[in-house]
Chains A and B, each alone.
Chain A
């Protein structure tokens, strides 16, 4: 069974540009979660999508947005990039309901210069 896949692995952008990160969940998983991890520190919750709808949002500005497609894959968009947005962005998936935890992808390393 394929795991959670994220692309690209690395992304370098200039301040002010937009970044698009992609995530494909495990087959059969309908929920996708996005987290930001800066400097190898804690996991900051960004967004949760389930069945194509945004279900919850973390404490991030509106320039962080995303969507979930009918095949349950997801995109995270970050507009007007700032230097502080440099981080590892992790995607995780689960069946609806997370009783048994999430499965994470390996992340996209975003560097803003």
Chain B
């Protein structure tokens, strides 16, 4: 089945540092999505990417849809304590009606 490899699994960084995480697949996808899950809550959609090579920003967050359509990265600039959470990448299946999620990147920020 489809599998997304998300890395790193966890990160422990100092407040103010930049963060980068990525997601790769052996298959081509037409949509890449990034979600954030805060403790005790459900994941919330951060950024959606629909075109290969697309670079999209949402505040301090920037995500790119890889040109090969097999990968995506998410960058967070100047991290703050409220960035703590688990970040998931996700792709639409080929039929476009279900999402497959990566294993998540747990981000911890030290004030």
Contact = CB atoms under 8 A, between A and B. Distances in A.
Partners in one complex: yes
B43 A56 contact: no
Interface string A46-65: 00101000011000000000
Contacts of B65: none
B44 A104 contact: yes
Contacts of A105: 42
A97 B31 CA distance: 12
Interface residues of B, number: 24
B49 to A, nearest CB: 11
A70 interface: no
Contacts of A14: none
Scoring A42, A56, A90, A92 by chain B CB atoms within 10 A of each residue's CB, the highest score goes to A42
Give the size category of A's interface with B. 20 to 34
Interface in B27-77: 31, 33, 35, 39-45, 48
Contacts of A100: 48
A102 B43 CA distance: 9
Interface string B2-30: 00000000000000000000000000000
A66 B59 CA distance: 39
Contacts of B42: 4, 90, 92, 104-107
B97 interface: yes
Nearest to B33: A101
Contacts of B106: 40
